[in-house]
Amino acid sequence: MITAGDFRNGMTFEEDGNVMQIIEFQHVKPGKGAAFVRTKVKNVITGSVVEKTYNPSAKFPTAFVERKDMQYSYSDGELYHFMDQETYEDVPVNASEVGDNFKFVKEEMMCKVLSYKGKVFGVEPPNFVELQVTQTDPGFAGNTATNATKPATLETGAEIRVPLFINEGEVIRIDTRTGEYMERVK
């Protein structure tokens, strides 16, 4: 059991049959009245985010979210298939559970599959991936003082903005959390 006074960012707990994760919290002690904890919590199953206030002495059972490394195998349209590296079990995940940043993941990459009591509710791709540029306008040197960018298509089909000097066939590093170009890989 955890109390609202012990809340920290990233903590998960059960409330009314739902699994909640703390995004932000703030202990408030007004001049008059009792102290309270103002939070922004996310329902990890549905993804909805709400702001709530709690009495600091309120108690909640701790929810243990399992984060397991699995290898992305393939997609058959509606389902994305992951392989457990220990048991070689195939774990299908609905397309709605993988998120927008999954467009940077290619087959055989390792991802973290998030589950609660056996129910998968999300997939975290690696923070940084290296992908090849398959289509972009020809690059040219110079004119970098303005931070000018151009569109580029990657080997996974995702489109991002890259600096003007990037050419087709080059391998670049991308931050999957923001979807931004990081650097060229030598």
pLDDT tens readout for residues 98-136: 878 889 999 999 999 988 888 887 888 999 999 999 999
Co-location of 8 and 36 in the same domain: yes
**Where does a domain end: 105, 124, 143?**
124
Name the residue range of residue 161's domain.
128-184
- Predicted local distance difference test score (pLDDT) of residue 18: 87
Burial track 69-82 (b if 16+ CB lie within 10 A, e otherwise)? ebebeebeeeebbb
Instruction: Tell me the C-alpha to C-alpha distance, in Å, between residue 2 and each of 41, 51, 122, 172.
Output: 15, 19, 24, 44
Looking at the structure of the chain, the number of domains it has is: 3
- Spatial separation of the C-alpha atoms in residues 52 and 13, rounded to whole Å: 14
Note whether 116 and 140 are same-domain residues: no
Tell which of 35, 60, 85 closes a domain: 60
What would the two tokens of residue 48 be? 């909805």
Do residues 112 and 138 share a domain?
Answer: no
Distance of alpha carbon 88 from alpha carbon 85, whole angstroms: 5
pLDDT for 4-63, tens place per residue? Answer: 989 988 888 999 888 898 889 999 999 888 999 999 998 887 778 899 999 999 999 998
Domain match, 172 and 146 both? yes
Is the whole model's pTM more than 0.85, yes or no?
no
Residue corresponding to tokens 């390792």: 110
Rounded-to-integer distance, Cα 159 and Cα 103, Å: 9
DSSP label at residue 113: E
